[in-house]
Structure 1
Amino acid sequence: MKEISVQEVQQSLKNGEKLNLLDVREVAEVQEDHIPGIINIPLGLLEFRLQELNKNTPYIIICRSGGRSGQATEFLAHHGYDATNMVGGMLAFKGKVE
């Protein structure tokens, strides 16, 4: 499974890079705080909403601590998507949130 650190994501965002961030937390969790510009598809709905994602687009997968995003990353990779797990999740994220 491909992984990226929270620090790498934060630095890329700080540098103005356009990242495709897929947050797999539940809607209520995302409403509390999230990285601006994320796509939110809760983990339990991911298999039903795959058509919303593009296999040619690299995605960084996010959750609260890295567990659900790890599951989602493996699931997406198995289905031919370019997915990378953000290790540590939102608990470790210190960048700008909404």
Structure 2
Amino acid sequence: MKKISTKELQNLIEENKDINIIDVREVDEVTQEKIIGAINIPLGLLEFRMHELDKSKKYVMVCRSGGRSGRAVQFLESQGFNVINMTGGMLAWEGQTE
């Protein structure tokens, strides 16, 4: 499983890199805070909404601590997607949120 630290992701965002962030937390968790520009697809709905994703793009998966996003990475990798898990999740995130 490919991983990226919160600091590495924050640096990519600050460099204005084209990054696709998927937050797999539940809707009520995301309404409190999320990484700017992240798309919310709760883990339980990922299988049903993966048609919204493009296999030619790279996605960074985010959750509260890194567990759910890790499961999302495993699932999406098995479906042929290029995905990376953000280690530490939002508990470790120090960048801007909305």
TM-score by length of 2: 0.98
Which residues of structure 1 form unaligned runs of 5+?
none
Q: How many angstroms apart in 2 are the aligned matches of 1:48 and 1:16?
A: 30
Alignment RMSD (CA, Å): 0.6
3-state SS in 1 of match to 2:70: helix
Q: How many angstroms apart in 2 are the aligned matches of 1:43 and 1:66?
A: 12
Deviation at 1:14, TM superposition (A): 1.3
Which residue is equivalent to 2:58?
A: 58
Q: How many angstroms apart in 2 are the aligned matches of 1:50 and 1:15?
A: 28
Deviation at 1:18, TM superposition (A): 2.1
Q: How many angstroms apart in 1 are the aligned matches of 2:13 and 2:58?
A: 15
* Per-residue deviation, residues 6-44 of structure 1 (Å, max 9, x unmatched): 110011111121210000000110000001111110000
3-state SS in 2 of match to 1:59: strand
3-state SS in 1 of match to 2:68: helix
Which residue is equivalent to 1:11?
A: 11
Which residue is equivalent to 2:68?
A: 68
Which residue is equivalent to 1:80?
A: 80
Count of matched residue pairs:
98
- Aligned-pair identity (%): 53
TM-score by length of 1: 0.98
> Deviation above 6 Å: which 4+ runs of structure 1?
none
